[in-house]
Chain A
Amino acid sequence: MTVKLAHLLRSRRSMVRAVPAWARFGTIGRLCPAALLAVACGGAGSPFASNDGGAGVPGDGSAGFTDAGAGHPDAGFDPAFDAGASPARNEADLGAIACFNGEDDDSNGDRDCADTSCGAVGSCCFGSGSPGCCVSDATPVSVDFATCAGTLAECLGVSASLFGPALPVVEDGAFIANGDESFDGSALIGPALDATSQRIVLRASLAAPLGGCGVACLSSVGLGVTSAADPSTVGWSPEVAVVVSGSRGDFALVVAGLEVQRFRLPTDAPAEYTLELDPTGRVSLSLDGARVASDVPFAPRSGARVVLFGRAHNRPADAALPARALAISVATEICEMPAALTREGAPLLPDALEAPAAIELEGQAVVAAVSQGGIYLWRQQGAGYAPWPTDDARLEPAGDVLAYGSPSLVQDPETLWIFAQERGLGARWVRATLSAAGDVGPLEALAGTEGIEEAGLAYVRGAYWLVGRMGTGAESRIVWLVSTDGVAFAPGRGDLDASTIARPRLNEVAAFDRDEVGAPALVVDGRGIVRAYYAGRRGTRWSIGMRAADYDSFRDEAFEVLGPSGSGHDALGARAPSPLVREGELHLFYEAWDGARARLGHAVGATR
């Protein structure tokens, strides 16, 4: 296969070699990845020249994209890996840009993220469940019943729950399901999993006697995932499972209670069964390492748990052990699935509020929002939020100022800032310091933000990035501006047209952002990937979408991440997103619209 891009996370040696290629494209200083500037790009004219990462890149320090330990396997410079590159454009020279430029650089028919060689590039991993795009997120759970001397509950640990008319047990070093004629015996193991964002690998050593188990006898054991609170419901529960049946003398891949494929048990000796569940909704089954079923569709759900289940009913007294599990293991990886968000069923605060902005301060979330033209702050307090520091507005209209709107909270290496739009006879963008006590400093006007109606800001690798909405309706667009000092902003890619990252998709009837875009916001995740969240309107319904950027090119691919729920506080719309990444979770605060009033909504998802 011709390789388009070896890997973003190459050795610095390969990064250095990438510079001439960019120079040939004439884009140095514009397209130069910020993370690489310290090594190869530099230049006072670059908005990225100040430093790499910094406090605005939580958890990644200065390493940014070049940190091989950030989660991607670093292939290093591998001549063999590059051997198939186009002679005209050496793979190493192509570098990261090749995954961002919208071209099929190696002429293999695939462009950018569609090219497998770009597959593990950070922003290409959004929506992908491939192993290279997912990272281990928990210590694997492993239970060896043969060496466990305790009860089943003790073997499985405190997070297990047992069900069934006759509870499952450990017997002769194996899990025996018990159950009865109508109900499985079962054990829910470990914490809840989110099959919509996690890659789940289940392994089990299972065995069953051949030749059935006698008249009216039931003998089976299975391992899978279920969303059911009580998985004993006959045959219905597992979303996905491998089921070994001694009664039938076979094993089957079962999806949503329906067998997909069934094989005769080759032997009554234990065999290792492996289920691999991909969050995009594909499952594969292997037997002793050999794949027996591949890419079978299933429906991933959140809140799923691993279930070990089966029947051992009417066992003849002199019979050998029934279908049983000798050992199991569960390994999970977190993948970047933008729409895998769980929304809270009630507004964050009871008040009518608009345009939230969130940041983490000293381990707690602080949220700014607009009410009647003033900007107020709340700080996380236990499970709820309390006004911070007082009930008073932090920015309150007075004199010629009629209202403040569209706040952003930005932490640079030294200062916490509040940015907002000030509206009076005209409109301007301002910023002020926000002290640890919640006090707002003097206002300072921004420059270069004319025409921006709504905006979100973030501190990204030594620069202030601003995404703002210009225009309305079909003429609306989201533009990207940058500033090295947080005051004077300029288009991120030369001019506003080149810096436009989203427009209404007028010709896509069902696109969530068909009629208008607006209310953008930025966040930098733990890998240094910048995500621009924004609102999109179709008819009268607002939804929230996301576009990602590893470097200074936002991808064309838009993910719809949150839409109207049809009931409650966000029945008719979700708008004005404010993302916050903390402790491996993405918290999305948003303006929830029920058709009559706006309140603050909150949704949470996992992130790598």
Chain B
Amino acid sequence: MRLAHSTAWLLALSGCSLLLAPDESKIRRPDASADAGPDAGPPDAGPDGGPDACVTRETPHELTCAGGVDEDCDGYVDCADYSCASSPECCGGLTTPIFEERWANPIDEWLELGASVTRAAGEIVDFRTASAPNALVYQDCLPLDVGVRLVVAFHLPTQCMAPSICEDDYAALVLTPLPELPAGRGLVADVAVRVSAAGEVSLWRGGEPLHAWAERVVPGATSATVTLELTPGLAAGNVPSLFAQVSIEQPGTGVSFTPLERLPVVLLEDLANARAACAATGNPRGDGLFAGIEGAGDAVRVGTLDADARSCANPALFRPSAALRADGYALGAWAAGGAGAPSLARYVYGGDTRWELWADASSTPRERDHIDFVWLALGAQIGSNDGASWTARGAEGLVLGTSPTSSPSRREPGFYAHVDRNFRLIGSELKLVFARELPRPTADGGVGGMDGGLVDVTPAYAIFAAQNVPPAATDTVVERLQPLLQSSNTSGCRSLRDPLLLPVGPDLSDGLWLVFTCERAGGQPSSLHIAHVSQDLTSVDMPPQPLLALSESFAARGIYGADGVADFDAGGERVTYRLWLLGRDAGGVSRLAYAEAYDQTVGAVPELVPYPANPILEPDDSLLGTCDGGCTLTGVSVTRISDLDLQLVVSRSVAATSGGVRHELVPLLQVRQR
């Protein structure tokens, strides 16, 4: 963790936030008050009066997501506005066809539930009995974390002339959590689009309609094409939900259906109820729904059915890492007690692309800290581009500290590589900050004395910096003797941890932001603070101030361990900071969370907005491997590996069922929309 990676990314400011759509009324805006005018608030994405100029502040959220207008005057335009991020038009192109069904023989990928339907000429022509529906369900659960588009053709060949015969006939596209047909009933429909024999089209959830169109499908040769967009987003109250948006076309009939705006239909939390069934079909995250076609009678036919995965932004979506293999990464005996707090960078030096991965570690089992003195030291290895071979900085990768490790502890390295957009290291600008333990109170009191003679000896740390970090692995790294920042510089922090360097501007002449964890006395929740420090890490140019605190239950004991990246626009005048951080819950389990300061003026203190659907990664996520007897995240590091892709390394402690605790570093990949 604690890697800041600065490149002059050519970021298209009109698009591509990583965020889903929260309830904009609940989002703590950077400019929540005292805005004097329509454009004086948060950074506007473009010049005043231009196409992105806001028009009225009375609109609570963006009205259109493609019009180039900032309707809600929050400084975010179209897809860059949180309220648009999961709109289909902001979900990128159709990237992955899931299936294209034409109902030709065979249809082995579909589960036939109930009586077999009759197919002919590329259509399902008869669902058989009208008294109880029959159904077909696609065998694989559809992953919904980046959205899905389903397009289905409904066809009414003739008018239903004898209502007593065909009035109960219908056909429906159904998304169900379970590929089973309850006896005498239809599929459990979390969302369904249904066409009746009378041509009525309606959107259903469970056993009740959510919306019915006034227009009707016209019988005849022409099919009506129903498009159902399912995208993840945030409903009122910042509740992660699956949104449905429906559009209907019937060319050549003169009938025009009113498009249905996005409607939250299922809480994402409720998709977890289908996890067991979904995971059995190979969906690695296990959250999704099954697509099915259900119907009764033969009055409504079903033609082509296509499903495509969209690519809505979703910071909670991770992929296994192919770009970095950490399995060859090993520190020496001095780290036998376990490594954590990773800090990763990727840069080109001397023509070679290299990884550099720092961590802290101890020769004593680090989980023994509450009964013994566990001293931590800093180590690093430099890896080849493919991660297959690693070269140690210093002996056995030990950079700052002793073997075996001894007092004072040095921990949580914040390694920083200043690179250009081609990842070339600019000059020799490698920097290192870390937390170093302060001397413990003396026996007669010292810091933290309490009434009644008790002396608080909870370890306290200050932020230190290295004098130099030479690119050559064989050269020595020297630490400064005086702290860069300590608790006396802050208000209310008893200990400073997890330093992170982020660039203020595209080049380092503007100095650096120093983000750190502020630990408070008495077990009160920790938070993130920020200070401005000089380029050479010798002075603090802006006193620390609070940056971010969260009150959600996943962070009941605070947030800590931030890492992030800075993305500058081409002109170097605006910047977006993206931060990943950990929230520790009441049970001591830490999860990964995300926050963003979007498109801000270079030099302004970042105004972080937390992603409302935090946390974004659980410690027992299957992508991280087995969790055995319990596990928790302990650190995170993030670096860019392309304009769109991010490489993460998370550290995790796992209680082994055989006893003891395993500390591991796990690489992950996050791919942004293309």
Would B237 and A510 count as touching, CB distance under 8 A?
A: yes
Would A541 and B368 count as touching, CB distance under 8 A?
A: no
Collect the chain B residues with CB atoms within 8 Å of residue A236's CB: 367, 629-630, 655, 661
One digit per residue, 1 when the CB lies within 8 angstroms of any chain A CB and 0 when it does not, for chain B 622-637 equals 0000000110100000
**B455 (CB) vs chain A CBs: closest residue:** A264
* Cα–Cα distance between A347 and B273 once the two chains are bound (Å): 17
Q: Which of A557-603 contact B (CB under 8 A)?
A: 564-567, 571-572, 594-597
Q: Which of A209-260 contact B (CB under 8 A)?
A: 218, 220, 222, 228, 230, 232-236, 239, 243, 245, 247-248, 250, 252-260
Q: How many residues of B contact A (CB 8 A)?
A: 68
Q: A233-B629, A297-B557, A509-B237 are in contact. Are A541 and B371 (CB under 8 A)?
A: no
Q: A263-B457, A299-B586, A571-B273 are in contact. Are A539 and B372 (CB under 8 A)?
A: no
Q: B98: CB under 8 A from chain A?
A: no
Q: B178: CB under 8 A from chain A?
A: yes
Q: Which of B321-367 contact A (CB under 8 A)?
A: 365, 367
Nearest-CB distance from A176 to chain B (Å)? 14
Nearest-CB distance from A23 to chain B (Å)? 43
Would A248 and B180 count as touching, CB distance under 8 A?
A: no
Q: Which of B234-281 contact A (CB under 8 A)?
A: 235-237, 239, 241, 264-267, 269-270, 272-277
* Cα–Cα distance between A289 and B260 once the two chains are bound (Å): 64
Q: A255-B588, A264-B455, A566-B273 are in contact. Are A539 and B659 (CB under 8 A)?
A: no
* Cα–Cα distance between A537 and B276 once the two chains are bound (Å): 21
Would A266 and B587 count as touching, CB distance under 8 A?
A: no
Would B205 and A539 count as touching, CB distance under 8 A?
A: yes
Nearest-CB distance from A272 to chain B (Å)? 14
Would B267 and A233 count as touching, CB distance under 8 A?
A: no
**A241 (CB) vs chain B CBs: closest residue:** B370
Q: A468: CB under 8 A from chain B?
A: no
Contact with B270, one of A183, A233, A539 (Cβ below 8 angstroms):
A539
Q: B12: CB under 8 A from chain A?
A: no
Would B523 and A256 count as touching, CB distance under 8 A?
A: no
Nearest-CB distance from B606 to chain A (Å)? 28
**A541 (CB) vs chain B CBs: closest residue:** B270
**B240 (CB) vs chain A CBs: closest residue:** A510
Would A293 and B270 count as touching, CB distance under 8 A?
A: no
Would A596 and B182 count as touching, CB distance under 8 A?
A: yes
Q: A538: CB under 8 A from chain B?
A: yes
**A230 (CB) vs chain B CBs: closest residue:** B659
**B176 (CB) vs chain A CBs: closest residue:** A595
* Cα–Cα distance between A109 and B586 once the two chains are bound (Å): 30
Q: A310: CB under 8 A from chain B?
A: yes
Would A297 and B182 count as touching, CB distance under 8 A?
A: no
Nearest-CB distance from B442 to chain A (Å)? 10
Q: B99: CB under 8 A from chain A?
A: no
Q: A248-B373, A253-B523, A566-B276 are in contact. Are A595 and B457 (CB under 8 A)?
A: no
Contact with A287, one of B178, B454, B586, B588 (Cβ below 8 angstroms):
B454
**A244 (CB) vs chain B CBs: closest residue:** B371
Would A259 and B365 count as touching, CB distance under 8 A?
A: no
Would A252 and B450 count as touching, CB distance under 8 A?
A: no
Q: B188: CB under 8 A from chain A?
A: yes
Contact with B373, one of A247, A281, A290, A296 (Cβ below 8 angstroms):
A247
Would A540 and B588 count as touching, CB distance under 8 A?
A: no
Nearest-CB distance from B631 to chain A (Å)? 10
One digit per residue, 1 when the CB lies within 8 angstroms of any chain B CB and 0 when it does not, for chain A 534-547 equals 00011111000000
Q: B206: CB under 8 A from chain A?
A: yes
Contact with A261, one of B241, B458, B557 (Cβ below 8 angstroms):
B458
Q: B459: CB under 8 A from chain A?
A: yes
Q: A234-B367, A260-B523, A540-B206 are in contact. Are A509 and B236 (CB under 8 A)?
A: yes
* Cα–Cα distance between A330 and B129 once the two chains are bound (Å): 66
Q: B190: CB under 8 A from chain A?
A: yes
Q: How many residues of A contact B (CB 8 A)?
A: 64
Would A509 and B241 count as touching, CB distance under 8 A?
A: yes
Would B370 and A263 count as touching, CB distance under 8 A?
A: no
Q: A234-B661, A510-B267, A572-B178 are in contact. Are A261 and B587 (CB under 8 A)?
A: no
Q: A245-B370, A539-B206 are in contact. Are A293 and B522 (CB under 8 A)?
A: yes
Nearest-CB distance from A573 to chain B (Å)? 8
Would A299 and B241 count as touching, CB distance under 8 A?
A: no
Q: A194: CB under 8 A from chain B?
A: no
Collect the chain B residues with CB atoms within 8 Å of residue A509's CB: 235-237, 239, 241, 264, 267
Collect the chain A residues with CB atoms within 8 Å of residue B420's CB: none
Q: Which of A250-305 contact B (CB under 8 A)?
A: 250, 252-264, 266, 281, 287, 290, 292-294, 296-299
Q: A473-B208, A595-B178 are in contact. Are A235 and B369 (CB under 8 A)?
A: yes
Q: A515: CB under 8 A from chain B?
A: yes
Would A234 and B188 count as touching, CB distance under 8 A?
A: no
Q: A493: CB under 8 A from chain B?
A: no
Collect the chain A residues with CB atoms within 8 Å of residue B371's CB: 218, 220, 222, 235, 243, 245, 247-248, 310-311
Q: A263-B454, A298-B587, A595-B177 are in contact. Are A233 and B660 (CB under 8 A)?
A: yes
Q: A182: CB under 8 A from chain B?
A: yes
Collect the chain A residues with CB atoms within 8 Å of residue B236's CB: 509
Collect the chain B residues with CB atoms within 8 Å of residue A222's CB: 371
Would B270 and A258 count as touching, CB distance under 8 A?
A: no
Q: A539-B206, A566-B276 are in contact. Are A262 and B456 (CB under 8 A)?
A: yes
Collect the chain B residues with CB atoms within 8 Å of residue A298's CB: 586-588
Nearest-CB distance from A345 to chain B (Å)? 13
Nearest-CB distance from A212 to chain B (Å)? 9
Q: Which of B616-674 contact A (CB under 8 A)?
A: 629-630, 632, 655-656, 659-661
* Cα–Cα distance between A513 and B82 once the two chains are bound (Å): 28
Nearest-CB distance from B529 to chain A (Å)? 20
**B208 (CB) vs chain A CBs: closest residue:** A473
Collect the chain A residues with CB atoms within 8 Å of residue B365's CB: 182, 234-235
Would A567 and B367 count as touching, CB distance under 8 A?
A: no
Collect the chain B residues with CB atoms within 8 Å of residue A293's CB: 522-523
Would B456 and A266 count as touching, CB distance under 8 A?
A: no
Collect the chain A residues with CB atoms within 8 Å of residue B521's CB: 261
Would A243 and B370 count as touching, CB distance under 8 A?
A: yes
Nearest-CB distance from B450 to chain A (Å)? 7
Q: A236-B661, A239-B587 are in contact. Are A539 and B523 (CB under 8 A)?
A: no
**B657 (CB) vs chain A CBs: closest residue:** A233
Collect the chain B residues with CB atoms within 8 Å of residue A248's CB: 371-373
In the complex, besides A248-B372, A258-B584, A293-B522, 4 extra interface pairs with C-beta distance below 8 angstroms are A218-B372, A297-B556, A566-B276, A571-B277
21 residue pairs bridging A and B, Cβ less than 8 Å apart: A230-B659, A234-B660, A234-B661, A235-B661, A248-B371, A252-B370, A254-B370, A256-B588, A256-B589, A257-B370, A261-B522, A296-B523, A299-B587, A310-B371, A509-B239, A537-B206, A540-B206, A566-B274, A572-B177, A595-B182, A596-B178
